[in-house]
Amino acid sequence: MKKENPKALLPIGVFLVLYLGLGIVFEYILRIPMGFYNIPIVVSFLTALLVACLQNPGLKFDDKLEVMAKGVGDKNIMTMILIFLTAGIFVGVVGRSSAESVAYFLLSIIPARFSVLVLFLVSCFVSLAMGTSVGTITLITPIAVSVASGSGFGTALCIGAVMSGAMFGDNLSFISDTTIAACNGQGCEMKDKFRQNFGIALPAALVTLLIFFLRTFHAEIGTTVLKEYNLIQIIPYLLVLIGGIIGINVFVVLLIGILSGSFIMLVTGATQATELLGNMGSGAAGMFETTMVAILVSAICALIHEYGGFAALLSFIKRIFRGKKGGQLGIGLLVGSMDIATANNTVAIVMANPIAKEIAEEYQISSRKTASILDTFSCIFQGILPYGAQMLVAISAATELGFEVSAFEIIPNLLYPYMLLLSSLLFIFVLPAKHEETID
């Protein structure tokens, strides 16, 4: 353990002040749409890295470069980056049109009275298959608005159901960037984290489904929305989902998804061969910023660790949170606070990973449980942030269709994040001691 040095945490503070401060100015003072997402996050992290390099003048710059190189060159970081890029290619190949097909298929066979439940279930499946909550909300919110208009259910309720389902998949999907970041940051298998996480997420989803049912069952409803659909494009998603669950190597699973998706897209005429290659490039390019963030955060955290910053933070957490259960809650609140500051659950996990790993080692918490807590708590906080991308995209999609709805109308309908928080706390504090895991 390095000597404690709280000043070594300054780069994290600099990043948070830059990103959160400018985000608040852009979003709430200058009233710039999606203000938080107009802040160049890579520039903010580069500034934080510069601050880290200027600290500790007793260490030569060449030595600092060596420390950063070791942090970036860690096996788990390299694996995470490669999975990010491969997952991006997969999403680029298969596209997102199948999501609408799933929604319209279920709406066509299930009575309109259960439309809100359908929106929640469809969003769960789509986000689980696609690995992106924002992408799911972008696709399903227009359908939710149409359902609200035709059936008579409130727009905020329908959007809340979509956002709730989107966070379910974001938390569990094998190709979600949060899952990739949490698993590789803690050095655990995705299948192990999935099984650990499923026991928390499933009860929360079932309770959410029950509450939506009770809230809508006796409502007076009109008609629902019916459109054409094509389900064959769902096959690559199902192959990836099944392959991940049964434990096939994630790279093999994604390769199967890319090959099957390419074949289906070409055979059905959904895309041309030249377009397919372009979509692969676009999909990978969509992960470039996330990849660069992972590299910069790894370099910053390596320096902070070398200077003794993590030792100081760990000492503080030990004074506040005692025992294994306290350590788990500490990890959850750590990533939650990072998410509040960054409004990005992937970035929050990447930032919290090295600190959480030291907490887990100190309190003898297994890597799969640590990864599960990181992913779960980041999704809980991200799912209800009024300035998070999920909320902003949902409001924007509704506004484009002529429906005005505010974040504070939607927040009471975000049932899944609330149920997930309750389930997570039960998982941490009520789990029988005989079922507690030891460190891997």
Q: Which of 235, 242, 206, 232 is nearest to 124 (CA)?
A: 206
What does the pLDDT read at residue 220?
61
What pLDDT score does 100 carry?
66
The residue with greater pLDDT, 414 or 26, is: 414
pLDDT in tens, 35-49: 666 778 888 889 999
Asked if residue 99 has pLDDT above 80, the reply is no
Tens of pLDDT along 206-259? 999 999 999 888 766 666 666 666 778 778 878 877 887 777 777 888 899 889
Q: Determine, yes or no, domain membership for 214.
A: yes
Best CA proximity match to 313, nearest among 340, 339, 333, 293: 333
Q: 43, 40, 42, 48: which is closest to 11 by C-alpha?
A: 48
Phi-psi label, residue 39: left if phi above 0, alpha if psi -120 to 50, beta otherwise: beta
pLDDT of res. 224:
61
Average pLDDT, the chain: 83
301 within some domain = no
Contact 176, 170 (CB under 8 A): yes
In a domain, 306, yes or no: no
List, for residues 149-187, the tens digit of each pLDDT value: 877 788 899 999 999 999 998 888 887 888 888 998 898
What mean pLDDT is predicted for residues 103-123? 82
How high is the pLDDT of residue 250?
Answer: 75
Give how many domains the chain has, as a whole number: 1
In this prediction, residue 376 carries a pLDDT of 95
3-state DSSP of 225-265: CCCCCCCHHHHHHHHHHHHHHHCCCHHHHHHHHHHHHHHHH
Residues 116 and 161 sit within 8 Å (Cβ to Cβ): yes
Report the SS3 class of residue 175.
Answer: coil
- Closest by CA to 197, choosing from 429, 435, 427, is 427
Split at pLDDT 50, 70, 90, the class of 5 is: confident
Instruction: Please check whether residue 389 lies inside any domain of the structure.
Output: no
pLDDT tens across 243-255, in order? 877 777 778 888 9
Residue showing tokens 């359902």: 147
- How many Å apart are CA 418 and CA 167, to the nearest integer? 11
Is residue 140 included in any domain, yes or no? yes
Its pTM stands at: 0.76
- Segment of 1-10, 80-89, 145-154, 371-380 carrying the highest mean pLDDT: 371-380
The pLDDT of residue 221 is 67
Q: What's the pLDDT band for 97 if we cut at 50, 70, 90? A: low
At 385-432, the pLDDT tens digits run 876 778 878 887 788 778 878 888 899 999 999 999 999 999 998 875
pLDDT for the residue 316 = 81
Tell me the CA end-to-end span of the chain in Å, nearest whole number: 20
User: In the predicted model, is pLDDT for residue 90 greater than 90?
Assistant: no
The whole-number pLDDT of residue 434 equals: 46
In a domain, 337, yes or no: no
Cα(342)–Cα(359) distance, integer angstroms = 22
Tell me the C-alpha distance between 397 and 142, whole Å: 6
- For residue 349, tell me if it sits in a domain: no
pLDDT tens figures, 338-366: 788 677 788 789 878 888 898 898 888 99
Please give the pLDDT value at position 135.
75
Q: Which domain holds residue 93?
A: 79-285
97/99 Cα distance (integer angstroms): 5
As a whole number, mean pLDDT of residues 298-314 equals 84
Query: Is 293 part of any domain?
Result: no
Is 65 a residue whose pLDDT tops 90? yes
Residue 435's pLDDT band, with cuts at 50, 70 and 90, is: very low
DSSP string over 300-319: HHHHHHHHTHHHHHHHHHHH
pLDDT band at 331 (very low <50, low <70, confident <90, very high): very high
